[in-house]
Structure 1
Amino acid sequence: MNTAGHAPATTRPGLELTPFRGLRYDPDRVGSLAAVTSPPYDVVVRPDGLHHLQSADPYNIVRLILPQAETPSARNKQAAETLRRWLSEGVLAADPEPALYVYEQRDGDGMLQRGLIGALRVSEPTEGVVLPHEDVMPHVVADRAALMRATSANLEPLLLTYRGDGSTAATTMLIERVAERPPLLSTTTEDGFGHRLWAVTDPDDLARVQGDLAPHQALIADGHHRWATYRRLRAEHPSPSAWDYGLVLLVDTARYPLRVRAIHRLLLGLPVAEALSALDGLFRVRRLDLPLTEALEALADAACEGNAFLFAGDGAFHLVDRPDPALLARTIPAEHPAAWRTLDATVLHATLLEHVWHIPEDSPAHIAYIHDTVATVEKAERDGGTAVLMHPVREEVVRDLARQGVTMPRKSTSFGPKPASGLVLRALDL
């Protein structure tokens, strides 16, 4: 059993989740635990989101995951200095012994999710063990890697799912037994979610978890860029080292199914009228003078019949569907499985972005990827761009494609609820 995150390489296939000494906020040093948390770095999307979180508490985690300065190097240096200062001041402190952490999220609608936070082996053999389903943007991976190098820390867990044996699995039984104890921390964030955390340190419990997880694969539900960052940083450091592992939340969706939502696109500098005029004769376009909720229902109905999108940004909604089959045939690569060729995200990226609008999908100056529907529409209306609202993909489609080794277009899905950032961190030099 590796309790320090420095085991020699293993040839055993499957998931290897190891305990670590978590860094956690001292509740006596901060205004509240809720006030220092944040959504993951790429979900802070409201127009005032970053300012709001920075103002919530001087120790909010966004000062580490999204430092603000004039240059990237200055931002990363600032994050590293902030982390060192918080550690020296006791704002963040390491738990006394390595642990896996049971993490629970619950909302007022009866949604309950539980999983394990730990350090997952990143080094080989992980091919076929951790399954990505989306491409990544190189500049984002480079940005996250520079931040992790500077701080020598995993500042927020990514979200992985696996299909276990549900309520009878050893890991699930352990999680549900531990969740009956008083937690290490309990807080409710402003989105209405309750969060609780427990530490699992018993060697027998840890051994049972490792044995139970060993045969399984995991699907990356959220955090493709962070996983790619873990892989890059692992390759940069000799093994064995703490860089062989990365911080994850692992959820058995046979017991705790996740919600799957779409990630929307904001086309910067492309007005709605111009975006729609380019579709003349290629797609059916219908104007919907409806509120957002009803427009999204119309999108869902259209998505049952084929590819469909909802455009916004000019004060109305426009339902775009029924693409010309000849257009799809000449723009979508034929060598991929049919399930990939018919994805809305495939049609958007391969047909609309590349061939109709000639917009580079990896250029932050031309396109933004936003999780929040209302925020996407508001930004488009304020900035004169086009919001392209997507309908979510079913989890089984995502998993089936990932098992075939087929990656979906980047930012195709949003699994949730996502773990709150700031509840437990991992320092690589402990």
Structure 2
Amino acid sequence: MRERRPRAPSQARRRPRRRRRRQATGRRADGSIGKGSLASRHRIARGGLGAGWRLGAATKARWPSADMLAGRRGVVPGSPRAHRFAPPPAIRLRWADLPKRASTMKIYAFPGIRYRTAEPGSLAAPPFDQIGERLRIQLHAASPHHFSHLTRPAPDSEDAHQHARRLHEEWLASGVVAADPTPAVYPYAIEERSGNRRLGLIALVGVGPGSEADLRPHEHTVDKPLADRLALLEATAVDLEPVFYLAEDDGSLEALLQADAASGELVEHRDPHGNRHRLYRVDDPARIERYRSTLAERTAAIADGHHRTKVAQMFARKHSVPEGRAGSAKMAVITSITSRGLQIDPIHRGITRELDPELLRQHVVSATPFEGDDGAAFAAAVDAAQPPSLGAWIGDRGPEIWRLDPSAGPSDMPGREAALPAVLLQYQLLAACGLTLANASDGTLVYRSDPDELWQERRGGELPAAFFLPTMSPEAFALATSGGDVLPPKSTRFLPKQVSGLVWCSHDAELA
């Protein structure tokens, strides 16, 4: 065998660099868009990624590995399915020194109200919209001071809003709860059983006039009556539950949170899923200013809490609350878009009317029959499929995995470069059948976070059509939304869910 001649060092260095450049440019075999494509260059040139985001291939280490994310979802690391959890190579993002969109997002410290009981963590509650009647009964029975008494009063009690106001005043008077002596911001950590940790900052965010440009919705919302939440806010004059915002960030926010959430938690709560929720406190004015300056020129996507943000804006406008007062701000958990702990699960779709399978299949690149017999396995197969793919079970046909064409769809389709299956489903497949965003709230579409529930409804004939969506990487979310595009309703489900009752804020509070 001929002995291989060693390459000169200069050759060994140059060739990998040339190879990486070729891989980073143009449209890839799977239809995704690379750094050098015309579409991505155009989006960068017009500032579409916003706040300095641009495409690149240098920051994969910032994100969770495929094995880490796969293990968190119960997938064996290194298995064929594990690759689905890696960020798509075409949309690795990095912070660049590009012109940033003008932003005046205002962050305030506040003297948080907290439980002063022996075990305050046991009194925290799930968000109000996650508490059904059965769970409400269980939580109320756990303690007369459980936070759910404020957010989900018993239906046979007095006027719910006045009941919450009276109860909160009683707790303050008796010392069950009390406000901190000085304004502070509150780092908040959620640690899953797998060890994955998501960090956020609980602070007040200004929602006065002009805040709409800083706090952008990331998806259309299904209409809900806002009067009830507005009446509760007016009756109690207390901001009880934080919303969830994702800030465009270069990693500075995450670094501050890691340092301040290293030790010394005020309270710890373990939720039914085994996640540990820990709250910390920062009242040093210089440190608070670091957080404020870090977020001052950033915008944020409303990840969870679109309606509550709108209610807070309505309250500030209705009562002409001056800037700098608690009534002109909304309590929020602010997490960096670069957070390693960010997990975005799908919400699957059921359709209550008949659809034409052949009309839909005209927009499908390939269809692969699924041989399993449960929804969880089908959802797992969709996750393992080459993106962009989704699961479809329509009419007399069995369940199939459909691979979609990322370049199809209308030119004004939101988040086009990210090629999200939820968007392609809405603007390509359902649009071909005459369905629009208006059908999201008229009963035509139903939403299920549990794939087994949707599977059973489809198999039992309750739904003539069902679509199963894959998980979404944080990078795909950032690419799809940071230009201001708004996704279809129920495109995302951020996990783990944060809890309420660790800290909250009175509208009479003095801010800093």
Assess same fold via TM > 0.5: yes
Aligned partners of 2:415, 2:221: CA distance in 1, in Å?
22
Which residue number in structure 1 is paired with residue 381 of structure 2? 298
Cα offset, 1:292, TM superposition: 3.6
Cα offset, 1:374, TM superposition: 5.0
CA contact (8 A) 2:245 2:334 kept: yes
Aligned partners of 1:125, 1:389: CA distance in 2, in Å?
38
Cα offset, 1:232, TM superposition: 2.1
Say whether 1:403 aligns with 2:489.
no
The answer to which structure, 1 or 2, has the higher relative contact order (CA under 8 A, 6+ apart) is 1
Which residue number in structure 2 is paired with residue 394 of structure 1? 473
Say whether 1:126 aligns with 2:217.
no
Please give the TM-score of this superposition, normalised by the length of structure 2: 0.66
Letter in 2 for 1:234: A
Aligned partners of 1:206, 1:177: CA distance in 2, in Å?
13
Which residue number in structure 2 is paired with residue 427 of structure 1? 506
Aligned partners of 2:350, 2:170: CA distance in 1, in Å?
37
Which residue number in structure 1 is paired with residue 105 of structure 2? 15
Q: Deviations over 1:303-353 (max 9, x none)?
A: x354523559xxx9833636899xx98xx6553356189543335445538
Q: Deviations over 1:341-368 (max 9, x none)?
A: 95433354455389467983124x6655
Which residue number in structure 1 is paired with residue 338 of structure 2? 254
Which residue number in structure 2 is paired with residue 8 of structure 1? none
- Find the residue that maps to 1:199 and give its secondary structure: coil
Cα offset, 1:279, TM superposition: 3.4
Q: How many residues align?
A: 397
Aligned partners of 1:53, 1:354: CA distance in 2, in Å?
46
Find 1:66's aligned residue among 128, 142, 152: 152
CA contact (8 A) 2:392 2:399 kept: yes
Aligned partners of 2:414, 2:376: CA distance in 1, in Å?
33
Find 1:418's aligned residue among 482, 497, 503: 497
Which residue number in structure 1 is paired with residue 175 of structure 2? 90
Structure 1 unaligned residues grouped into runs of 5+: 1-11
Aligned partners of 1:39, 1:204: CA distance in 2, in Å?
33
Say whether 1:335 aligns with 2:416.
no
Cα offset, 1:238, TM superposition: 1.1
Structure 2 unaligned residues grouped into runs of 5+: 1-101, 362-366
- Find the residue that maps to 1:419 and give its secondary structure: coil
Say whether 1:57 aligns with 2:135.
no
Bigger Rg, which one:
2
Q: From the superposition, tell whether residues 354 and 296 of structure 1 become closer, same or farther in structure 2 (CA, over 3 Å).
A: same
CA contact (8 A) 2:343 2:473 kept: no
Aligned partners of 1:25, 1:376: CA distance in 2, in Å?
40
CA contact (8 A) 2:370 2:378 kept: no
Please give the TM-score of this superposition, normalised by the length of structure 1: 0.77
Say whether 1:42 aligns with 2:129.
yes
Aligned partners of 1:412, 1:67: CA distance in 2, in Å?
30
Cα offset, 1:13, TM superposition: 3.2
Aligned partners of 2:114, 2:274: CA distance in 1, in Å?
21
Find 2:357's aligned residue among 264, 279, 283: 279
CA contact (8 A) 2:414 2:423 kept: no
Which residue number in structure 1 is paired with residue 184 of structure 2? 99
- Find the residue that maps to 1:138 and give its secondary structure: coil
Aligned partners of 1:265, 1:130: CA distance in 2, in Å?
27
